[in-house]
Amino acid sequence: MLGEIQTKPMEILLVEDGLMDAKITIHALRRSMVHHRLTLVRTTAEAIQFLKREGVFGRAPAPDLLLLDLCLPDGDGLEIVSEMRSFPDRRATTPVVVLTASDDTETRQRCDSMKIDDFITKPVDEEQFLRVVREHKRLLMFSHSPLVGV
């Protein structure tokens, strides 16, 4: 059982419309040494379809971590979080890390009110980003440990 926990990749959903930002995030994750599987979607609609397992995403895994840009071509990234929080299963509690170029007070307050787990301003500081991802991986492994709750 413990061997399964250590080898199971962390399922990451990256919602990012900027290809350069996506490429930077993907390369940082590769360097992180965190065993993961990443899915990239570029719009609010695609992210919601993925989370609902609709259309081409019918067999999509439940993400263990959502990396989310807020400014998307078809809406606000927080719409995705609102939708996700309404699900009746573990997807409702998926940790969310916002990656955004906006660092204004209103944006941070909106994220705080939606209980966003982490907020990272672009351009992303790779060390900070990797520290956050590793911490979520550690928490994920701990939450799936057979010793939790004993």
Predicted pLDDT of residue 146: 47
Cβ neighbours for 34, distance < 8 A, ≥ 6 positions apart: 10, 130, 133, 134, 137
Alpha-carbon distance 104 to 33, whole Å? Answer: 32
Class of the domain covering 7-141: alpha beta
Quote the mean pLDDT of the chain: 90
Contacts of 56 (CB under 8 A, 6+ apart): 49
Question: Residue 6 has what pLDDT?
Answer: 55
Which residues have C-beta within 8 Å of that of residue 101, sequence separation ≥ 6? 71, 121, 122
Q: How many CA atoms lie within 13 A of 29 on its CB side?
A: 23
Nearest to 131 by CA among 5, 1, 28, 24: 28
Residues of the chain with pLDDT under 50: 1-5, 145-150
| List of residues 6+ apart from 7 with CB closer than 8 A | 35
Q: Where are the domains of the chain?
A: 7-141
